A and B are shown apart, each in its own frame.
Chain A
Amino acid sequence: MELIIVGSIVLAAMAFIARSAWRTVRAARKPKAGCGSDCGCGH
């Protein structure tokens, strides 16, 4: 049970990182206003 909980948390974290990385690459490919909410710059 503990392994399932830990595994789920780790998988969720990996999915979040993959999504952030994909969004960053997509932002570079497609010009748009602003740099996205998750870049940390406040714009």
Chain B
Amino acid sequence: MTSLQPPTTTDAQRAGQRSDPTAGAHATLRVAIIGNPNTGKTTLFNALTGLRQRVGNFAGVTVERVEGNFRGADGQHVTVLDLPGSYSLSAGSPDEQIALDVLLGRDKDRWRPDVVLVVVDAVHLDRNLFLAGQVIELGIPVVVALNQFDVAESEGIAIDVPELIHELGVPVVPTVAKRGEGIEPLKRALFIAATLPAPTRRFELPALAATALEPLRQCLVADGLLPSAAGMEALRLLGMSRTDPHLAQVPGLAEAVAVSSSALRAAGLVPARFESEMRYGWIAEVTGRTVTSRLHVGRSLSDRIDAIALHRYYGPALFLFVMVLVFQSVFSWATPLMDGIEWMIGAAGEAIGSRLPEGDLRSLVVDGLFAGVGSVLVFLPQIAILFLAIGVLEHSGYMARAAYLMDRVMRRVGLHGKSFIPMLSGYACAVPGIMATRTIEDPKDRLATIMVVPLMSCSARLPVYTLLIGAFVPPIALLPGLSLQSVTMLIMYLLGTVVALVVAAIFKRTLLKGPVRPMILELPPFRWPSPKSLAVSVVQRCELFLRRAGTVILSLSIVLWAMATYPKASVDTTQSPAAQQEQQLEYSVLGRIGKGIEPIVRPLGYDWKIGVSIAASFAAREVFVSTMGTIYGVGDVGEGDAALRARLVRERHPVSGKPVYTPLIAVGLMVFYVFALMCMSTIAVTVREAGGGRIGWGWAALQFGYMLGLAYGAAWIVYIVGKALGFAG
């Protein structure tokens, strides 16, 4: 490939007219990164700052501002702000609005950048230059990173970089962010750009149009915008609908837009199309002078894969096959590792416990910490494998194909096809899934998606499913390499997805009625996932899981142990040790609460221990497993296998002697967890993303209520129908 050279600055210096008086005046250089979705902005941000923000091969991974820092060669401090991807500054969706507000200095909580780094995809320069052209007019020094330069070269696209610098009037640096190529020249270019005059518009408006726009431009300057930024904003506002919130905020702005629009129409121009026509005309001239492309003969490998992956019939079949493969690998690959961790935790608990004298402290360590937190920690291998699989799907570009495949289904539901990407993100965690809805323009579509994202089975449900499936679903092979356990897990994930679509359809036909909009989705080319990026994302997720286990789950385990231990009962010593332990448990605070809850959960076939574990898991779903671990740890009298799965299988009702946990109870419990919203963080993010205040709390309460009702109703139906079919309850 072409060597990545530092930019020349002569043309950039020649281009500017005025400089931002604030540029270079700070001890810290403040840089904002912006670009079209999926151009590698976050990869470049990570390469610049050494951070490990989430990246993926599909549009809409970054939906909010993220800050990082690095130091230049002379030690100068640089703060970098990664903005959400935008195709333009037209601010159609909330994530695009974030970017526009920062660049125009309207974001009160965020600084205005000294330099804007525009990341453009070298393969699709024509499309990317629309945004670059708008940013160049903002009156802020600009550097353009020509990213994925290697891919452009491999596809026969040659870009004349010096000519492009001349055309844009700003430094242009070719980069390959994923390999760290061009990063040092880029850093130097940022410092150089900060000392240069700000660039200005690179094309001339027709004289009649310039005159027509003048009242609008003057109005924006009076509102505090720099003259150059006012020129860009005037063009942008002409293409906006009359509902743009900014029009109502500035006195006289709506009138100025109307006056300028009328004047443009009188000059024979169409205001709504005017900006697009001017910019695309300029882009065609620039790319004509700077880009040469060899014609492709035949289809690329990505096209050939898409012929199957996006096929009307083969596509959904392939999607189902991929999902089955993911869940089969979660079960079959993780088992030996899980057994190993289980053994290590058991051995460590025994070793530490044997060194402590008999008493409450020993019980706290063995039954509270090791039994509680340890029962959650054993699921680490499955979390790692699940996120490895999600990472492969995200980084390869298959995630965007899945969204495309689901578009027809989403339309029937009444949702935008884009809604499926937040829903897919919900498989990892509902919080980023809900935040990813910022890419959806229509507020009603966005709200409907927020309301159903928590129905997608997140990774916190995985320990609950795995515990119950591992204990009560036999590992029967249905087909070679396909077990009943993995199919059961797949059914739980599909159940959440299907019900999410049904609930979304109900919302879109009642509270959130609105038209169905067509989806425009960029399908990125298939890429081999980078092992380093995959490793980083899996390690990050494992770290988060361990941190959560070591903080929230650990604290809850300690408190639940205390609740299961105190107050002390005066037990009948003539009874068996097991009966004495049971008597103590029932006398404890936890036992009393459990007995109070029991009438509510009894119709579902659950005893008080399951009831209190469900109640505790309203803080976080994994706490169900740790609470069970603590309850059975405290109640354990040391018979047989101490592993929680084995304890559940051999647990008997003290009076009837029947098993407390049957396959029917396990399925009912899993169904309950598919639907119940048991995550404080999800509730908090719903409040915020649904508008905050009373409105946000109202939507969050509705979400919590309908999901709890759904969970209870579905678990009850499973129990009743299962018993009617002759399954032991």
Contact = CB atoms under 8 A, between A and B. Distances in A.
Nearest to B696: A28
A15 to B, nearest CB: 9
A39 B544 CA distance: 9
Given A3-B360, A5-B361, A6-B364, A40 B684 contact: no
B359 interface: yes
B680 A43 contact: no
Contacts of A25: 684
B502 interface: no
A41 B428 CA distance: 8
A35 B558 contact: no
A21 B684 CA distance: 10
Interface residues of B, number: 42
Contacts of B432: 41-43
Interface of A: 2-3, 5-6, 9-10, 13-14, 16-17, 20-21, 24-25, 27-29, 31-36, 38-43
A33 B558 CA distance: 32
A33 B67 CA distance: 10
Contacts, number: 103
B555 A17 contact: yes
A6 B555 contact: no
A27 B562 contact: no
A9 B429 contact: no
Given A17-B552, A20-B552, A39 B692 contact: no
Interface string B617-659: 0011000000000000000000000000000000000000000
B552 A35 contact: no
Contact of B541 (A17, A29, A42): A42
A16 B692 contact: no
Contacts of B320: none
Nearest to A23: B684
Contacts of A33: 64-66, 109
A7 to B, nearest CB: 9
Given A5-B361, A35-B431, A43-B64, 19 more contacts: A3-B360, A6-B562, A9-B364, A13-B556, A13-B558, A20-B552, A24-B680, A33-B109, A35-B684, A36-B681, A38-B548, A39-B681, A39-B684, A40-B429, A40-B547, A40-B681, A42-B541, A43-B431, A43-B432
A31 B689 CA distance: 9
A29 B547 CA distance: 25
A2 B431 contact: no
A10 B698 CA distance: 34
A43 B435 contact: yes
Given A24-B681, A35-B681, A16 B687 contact: no
B68 to A, nearest CB: 13
B656 to A, nearest CB: 35
Contacts of B547: 38, 40
Contacts of B683: 24, 28
A40 B360 contact: no
Given A6-B361, A35-B435, A40 B688 contact: no
B494 interface: no
B555 A31 contact: no
A10 B681 contact: no
B79 interface: no
B554 interface: yes
27 contacts: A2-B360, A3-B360, A5-B361, A10-B559, A13-B554, A13-B556, A14-B555, A14-B559, A16-B551, A16-B552, A20-B551, A21-B680, A25-B684, A28-B683, A28-B685, A29-B692, A32-B109, A33-B65, A33-B66, A35-B431, A35-B435, A38-B548, A38-B551, A39-B681, A40-B620, A41-B428, A41-B429
